[in-house]
Structure 1
């Protein structure tokens, strides 16, 4: 029963996420909720509630092991999550006309910052997070949580690229996209100190709160 509840919580989370990609639904929701800000706040509350349900259902689910955890596997999440957190935190505070984040307002094509590395830093950060947690967690419940998220994070860039091309027009999208995916040392100075420090800060917060929320230490 507990695994069924976990599956239901995950399915509802993914379904709620898919609704935001439907322009008709989003327009109607924004009209009912007082505009874009109201929609974002309502969706954020819903997402947090569903995530809390997923965590609670996962902790209550029976452990059905598919592979045993080796000692080296425990190193994978904390090591992989450091660059993952740099992508996640940096992506959420960097202007981005291509992908998940605060939007394209303020984006400077001459100083793309983290976007020199990838147009989709948040999604690749989520992909690292999901993949790293699969390695040491060889139980059915963990795979139910992390495999769908990994799949979404890997498919998401293609879907978003197609949407942005349609919205910006091919020539404008190609012009902006040509500035991304080409890492250079300039990326570090363009990001600025506070964006660079946001990643390690997020990593430290996640490590500190992991045992309290999940019930297990993330450190080897």
Structure 2
């Protein structure tokens, strides 16, 4: 099956399980924790745009400090991209997505489900850091030091040089808004 085949199969399985979990949470007895307000949609929509942009800037890119990453040997610490802004971009995207959906739903079942995802994403970075430190040793510290030296402003500027990825993130965001009512029965614009 190889690494690519495993990654593909694992991704398909993960999406299937995630779909099942979200569906199950939607069918669970409703225990309200707070009431939905129309302005909630604006907060969640803004956060989800950020999530889509992070994903577009992270997927298929070198990320030697975190999970995933493509062709990590080609990582250039002087042009770190999203890794110069956040060490674990995919985990950050999961955390933002999960917390936004806890906020949007306001019931116990969704708090448990999305809260678990958020907790995993927020604690997963330290687990990955320990593993990468063990696997990469001094090379990891040298790369991290070079990324820090290049500075946040340089990293943010390098993201602006990614118009195709930024457009892909925006397109993914629009696709999610259009698909959301059909997939989950909730219109993220109208509530």
Fold conserved between structures, TM > 0.5: yes
Residue 91 (str. 1) matches residue 58 (str. 2): yes
CA contact (8 A) 1:109 1:179 kept: yes
Cα gap change, 1:172/1:94 in structure 2, threshold over 3 Å: closer, same or farther? same
SS at the partner of 1:135? helix
2:100 to 132, 136, 140: 132
SS at the partner of 2:74? coil
CA RMSD of aligned residues (A): 1.9
Consecutive unaligned residues in structure 2, runs of 5 or more: none
Shift of residue 97 of structure 1? 0.8
What is the total number of aligned residue pairs between the two structures?
Answer: 186
Counterpart of 1:122 in structure 2 is 90
Bigger relative contact order (CA 8 A; separation at least 6): 2
Counterpart of 1:69 in structure 2 is 36
Residue 189 (str. 1) matches residue 166 (str. 2): no
Shift of residue 73 of structure 1? 1.9
Residue 208 (str. 1) matches residue 178 (str. 2): yes
Q: Could you give the per-residue CA deviations for residues 23-47 of structure 1, whole angstroms, max 9, x where no partner exists?
A: xxxxxxxxxxx32223223212221
TM-score norm. by structure 1 comes to: 0.77
TM-score norm. by structure 2 comes to: 0.88
Distance in 2 (alpha carbons) for counterparts of 1:183 and 1:140? 38
CA contact (8 A) 1:93 1:195 kept: no
Consecutive unaligned residues in structure 1, runs of 5 or more: 1-33
CA contact (8 A) 1:134 1:146 kept: yes
CA contact (8 A) 2:82 2:155 kept: no
Cα gap change, 1:161/1:58 in structure 2, threshold over 3 Å: closer, same or farther? same
Q: Which consecutive aligned stretches of 4+ in structure 1 deviate over 6 angstroms post-superposition?
A: none
